[in-house]
Copies of this chain bind each other. A is one copy, B any other.
Amino acid sequence: MPKLQLALDGDLSDGLAVLEKAHACVDIVETGTPLVFREGMRAVRVIRAAYPGLRLLSDLKIMDAGEAEADIAFDAGADIVTVLGLSGDETIQGALASAEKGDGQVMVDMMGVADPTQRAAELIALGCDLLCLHTAHDQQSRRGSPWRQLAQVRAAYPALSLAIAGGVSLSLLPQILPLHPQIVVVGSAITAAADPGLAARLIHEGIREYGDA
Protein backbone atom coordinates (compact mmCIF):
# COMPACT_ATOMS: atom_id res chain seq x y z
CA MET A 1 0.00 0.00 0.00
CA PRO A 2 1.52 3.36 -0.97
CA LYS A 3 2.02 5.85 1.81
CA LEU A 4 0.68 9.40 1.70
CA GLN A 5 3.28 12.07 2.39
CA LEU A 6 1.91 15.55 3.15
CA ALA A 7 4.29 18.35 2.20
CA LEU A 8 3.97 21.49 4.31
CA ASP A 9 5.54 24.41 2.45
CA GLY A 10 3.78 27.38 4.05
CA ASP A 11 4.11 28.99 7.47
CA LEU A 12 4.46 26.67 10.44
CA SER A 13 1.17 27.84 11.92
CA ASP A 14 -0.62 27.15 8.63
CA GLY A 15 1.04 23.75 8.43
CA LEU A 16 -0.03 22.85 11.96
CA ALA A 17 -3.60 23.90 11.16
CA VAL A 18 -3.65 21.65 8.09
CA LEU A 19 -2.05 18.82 10.01
CA GLU A 20 -4.68 19.03 12.73
CA LYS A 21 -7.35 18.33 10.12
CA ALA A 22 -5.41 15.87 7.97
CA HIS A 23 -3.03 13.93 10.24
CA ALA A 24 -5.22 10.85 10.55
CA CYS A 25 -4.92 10.25 6.81
CA VAL A 26 -1.20 11.01 6.56
CA ASP A 27 1.64 8.49 6.85
CA ILE A 28 4.58 10.88 6.48
CA VAL A 29 4.60 14.60 7.22
CA GLU A 30 7.15 16.70 5.37
CA THR A 31 8.67 19.95 6.51
CA GLY A 32 9.05 21.38 3.01
CA THR A 33 12.06 23.37 1.86
CA PRO A 34 10.40 26.80 2.22
CA LEU A 35 9.25 25.88 5.73
CA VAL A 36 12.81 24.82 6.61
CA PHE A 37 14.13 28.10 5.22
CA ARG A 38 11.64 30.04 7.36
CA GLU A 39 11.88 28.12 10.60
CA GLY A 40 14.91 25.88 10.45
CA MET A 41 14.69 22.76 12.58
CA ARG A 42 12.14 24.38 14.89
CA ALA A 43 9.56 23.16 12.37
CA VAL A 44 10.80 19.60 12.79
CA ARG A 45 10.88 19.81 16.58
CA VAL A 46 7.40 21.34 16.89
CA ILE A 47 5.76 18.82 14.55
CA ARG A 48 7.72 15.93 16.10
CA ALA A 49 6.44 16.89 19.53
CA ALA A 50 2.86 17.38 18.37
CA TYR A 51 2.67 14.16 16.30
CA PRO A 52 5.12 11.64 17.76
CA GLY A 53 3.47 8.79 15.83
CA LEU A 54 3.93 10.27 12.36
CA ARG A 55 6.99 9.64 10.27
CA LEU A 56 8.67 12.96 9.57
CA LEU A 57 10.66 13.93 6.47
CA SER A 58 12.67 17.11 6.28
CA ASP A 59 13.09 18.30 2.70
CA LEU A 60 16.56 19.80 2.92
CA LYS A 61 17.44 18.98 -0.71
CA ILE A 62 21.05 18.57 0.42
CA MET A 63 23.58 19.50 -2.26
CA ASP A 64 26.82 19.48 -0.25
CA ALA A 65 28.22 18.53 3.15
CA GLY A 66 25.98 15.47 3.10
CA GLU A 67 26.78 14.01 6.47
CA ALA A 68 26.86 17.25 8.44
CA GLU A 69 23.65 18.58 6.91
CA ALA A 70 21.74 15.30 7.27
CA ASP A 71 22.89 15.18 10.90
CA ILE A 72 21.09 18.48 11.49
CA ALA A 73 17.74 17.01 10.45
CA PHE A 74 18.14 13.65 12.17
CA ASP A 75 19.35 15.30 15.37
CA ALA A 76 16.22 17.47 15.33
CA GLY A 77 14.01 14.40 15.14
CA ALA A 78 13.46 13.77 11.43
CA ASP A 79 13.11 10.16 10.25
CA ILE A 80 13.89 10.89 6.61
CA VAL A 81 16.02 13.57 4.94
CA THR A 82 16.25 14.45 1.26
CA VAL A 83 19.42 14.86 -0.78
CA LEU A 84 19.54 15.98 -4.40
CA GLY A 85 20.30 13.31 -6.99
CA LEU A 86 22.24 16.08 -8.74
CA SER A 87 24.70 16.23 -5.88
CA GLY A 88 28.03 14.45 -5.97
CA ASP A 89 28.38 10.83 -4.93
CA GLU A 90 30.39 11.90 -1.87
CA THR A 91 27.42 13.97 -0.71
CA ILE A 92 25.04 11.04 -1.17
CA GLN A 93 27.43 8.81 0.77
CA GLY A 94 27.69 11.39 3.52
CA ALA A 95 23.92 11.56 3.92
CA LEU A 96 23.73 7.75 3.99
CA ALA A 97 26.46 7.65 6.65
CA SER A 98 24.47 10.12 8.73
CA ALA A 99 21.32 8.01 8.39
CA GLU A 100 23.15 4.85 9.40
CA LYS A 101 24.18 6.37 12.72
CA GLY A 102 20.54 6.13 13.81
CA ASP A 103 17.39 4.79 12.28
CA GLY A 104 17.34 7.49 9.62
CA GLN A 105 16.49 7.11 5.97
CA VAL A 106 17.64 9.06 2.92
CA MET A 107 15.30 9.97 0.07
CA VAL A 108 17.08 11.04 -3.10
CA ASP A 109 15.19 13.80 -4.90
CA MET A 110 15.70 13.24 -8.64
CA MET A 111 14.68 16.80 -9.55
CA GLY A 112 16.65 18.04 -12.54
CA VAL A 113 18.44 14.73 -13.16
CA ALA A 114 18.71 14.35 -16.93
CA ASP A 115 18.66 10.54 -17.03
CA PRO A 116 16.89 9.24 -13.91
CA THR A 117 17.28 5.57 -14.82
CA GLN A 118 21.04 5.86 -15.24
CA ARG A 119 21.42 7.93 -12.09
CA ALA A 120 19.22 5.43 -10.25
CA ALA A 121 21.71 2.67 -11.08
CA GLU A 122 24.52 4.77 -9.62
CA LEU A 123 22.49 5.64 -6.53
CA ILE A 124 21.56 2.01 -5.91
CA ALA A 125 25.24 1.10 -6.16
CA LEU A 126 25.95 3.74 -3.49
CA GLY A 127 23.38 2.12 -1.20
CA CYS A 128 20.31 4.29 -1.80
CA ASP A 129 16.96 2.52 -1.56
CA LEU A 130 14.43 5.36 -1.82
CA LEU A 131 14.21 7.72 -4.79
CA CYS A 132 11.72 10.50 -5.43
CA LEU A 133 10.74 11.35 -8.99
CA HIS A 134 9.98 15.02 -8.70
CA THR A 135 9.08 17.62 -11.27
CA ALA A 136 10.12 21.04 -10.04
CA HIS A 137 7.24 23.36 -9.17
CA ASP A 138 8.74 25.96 -11.50
CA GLN A 139 8.73 23.48 -14.39
CA GLN A 140 5.35 21.84 -14.01
CA SER A 141 3.79 23.88 -16.80
CA ARG A 142 6.60 23.03 -19.21
CA ARG A 143 7.61 19.52 -18.21
CA GLY A 144 4.30 18.22 -17.00
CA SER A 145 3.89 15.67 -14.27
CA PRO A 146 6.71 13.37 -13.18
CA TRP A 147 4.88 10.13 -13.89
CA ARG A 148 6.81 9.48 -17.10
CA GLN A 149 10.03 9.43 -15.09
CA LEU A 150 8.35 7.21 -12.50
CA ALA A 151 7.31 4.81 -15.27
CA GLN A 152 10.86 4.68 -16.66
CA VAL A 153 12.56 4.05 -13.34
CA ARG A 154 9.84 1.62 -12.24
CA ALA A 155 10.32 -0.40 -15.43
CA ALA A 156 14.06 -0.62 -14.81
CA TYR A 157 13.78 -1.32 -11.06
CA PRO A 158 10.53 -3.10 -10.24
CA ALA A 159 11.35 -3.55 -6.55
CA LEU A 160 12.94 -0.17 -5.77
CA SER A 161 11.10 2.11 -3.34
CA LEU A 162 9.95 5.15 -5.30
CA ALA A 163 8.15 8.31 -4.34
CA ILE A 164 6.42 10.70 -6.70
CA ALA A 165 6.12 14.43 -6.12
CA GLY A 166 5.26 17.57 -8.02
CA GLY A 167 1.70 18.64 -8.69
CA VAL A 168 0.15 15.40 -7.44
CA SER A 169 -3.61 15.74 -6.99
CA LEU A 170 -6.64 13.50 -6.53
CA SER A 171 -7.40 13.58 -10.24
CA LEU A 172 -3.91 12.29 -11.09
CA LEU A 173 -4.13 9.18 -8.90
CA PRO A 174 -5.46 7.04 -11.78
CA GLN A 175 -2.29 7.80 -13.73
CA ILE A 176 0.10 7.49 -10.81
CA LEU A 177 -1.10 4.46 -8.85
CA PRO A 178 -0.70 1.93 -11.70
CA LEU A 179 3.04 2.76 -11.62
CA HIS A 180 3.24 1.42 -8.05
CA PRO A 181 4.88 4.26 -6.14
CA GLN A 182 5.62 3.44 -2.50
CA ILE A 183 5.10 7.06 -1.47
CA VAL A 184 2.76 9.66 -2.98
CA VAL A 185 3.76 13.19 -2.01
CA VAL A 186 0.95 15.73 -1.96
CA GLY A 187 1.27 19.41 -1.10
CA SER A 188 -1.10 22.12 -2.27
CA ALA A 189 -3.80 19.65 -3.34
CA ILE A 190 -4.31 19.23 0.39
CA THR A 191 -2.89 22.37 1.99
CA ALA A 192 -4.64 24.78 -0.40
CA ALA A 193 -7.93 22.87 -0.50
CA ALA A 194 -11.00 24.56 0.91
CA ASP A 195 -11.27 21.56 3.23
CA PRO A 196 -7.78 20.08 3.75
CA GLY A 197 -9.17 17.28 5.90
CA LEU A 198 -11.56 16.17 3.19
CA ALA A 199 -8.88 16.46 0.49
CA ALA A 200 -6.53 14.31 2.56
CA ARG A 201 -9.24 11.74 3.23
CA LEU A 202 -10.20 11.43 -0.45
CA ILE A 203 -6.58 11.03 -1.55
CA HIS A 204 -5.89 8.60 1.29
CA GLU A 205 -8.92 6.49 0.34
CA GLY A 206 -7.95 6.54 -3.31
CA ILE A 207 -4.51 5.25 -2.41
CA ARG A 208 -5.94 2.59 -0.06
CA GLU A 209 -8.42 1.32 -2.59
CA TYR A 210 -6.35 1.40 -5.74
CA GLY A 211 -2.74 1.44 -4.64
CA ASP A 212 -1.29 -2.04 -4.41
CA ALA A 213 2.46 -1.55 -4.30
Contacts and interface: CB of A to CB of B under 8 A. Distances in A.
Nearest to A39: B40
A109 to B, nearest CB: 8
Contact of A111 (B43, B63, B68): B63
Contacts of A69: 33-34, 37
A68 B33 CA distance: 11
Contacts of A72: 34, 37-38
A87 interface: yes
Given A63-B61, A63-B112, A68-B34, A87 B39 contact: no
A64 B94 contact: no
Nearest to A92: B138
Given A40-B42, A111-B64, A112-B63, A138 B33 contact: no
* Copies of this chain per assembly: 2
A133 interface: no
A91 interface: yes
B37 A138 contact: no
Given A40-B37, A42-B40, A86 B112 contact: yes
Contact of A88 (B37, B68, B91, B112): B112
Give the dominant DSSP class at A's interface: helix
Interface string A5-39: 00001000000000000000000000001101111
Contacts of A112: 63, 86-88
Contact of A84 (B36, B63, B139): B63
A13 to B, nearest CB: 14
19 contacts: A33-B63, A33-B69, A34-B68, A36-B37, A37-B60, A37-B69, A39-B40, A61-B63, A61-B64, A63-B111, A63-B112, A64-B136, A65-B136, A65-B137, A66-B138, A87-B138, A88-B138, A88-B139, A91-B139
Interface of A: 9, 33-34, 36-43, 60-61, 63-66, 68-69, 72-73, 84, 86-88, 90-91, 94, 111-112, 136-139, 142
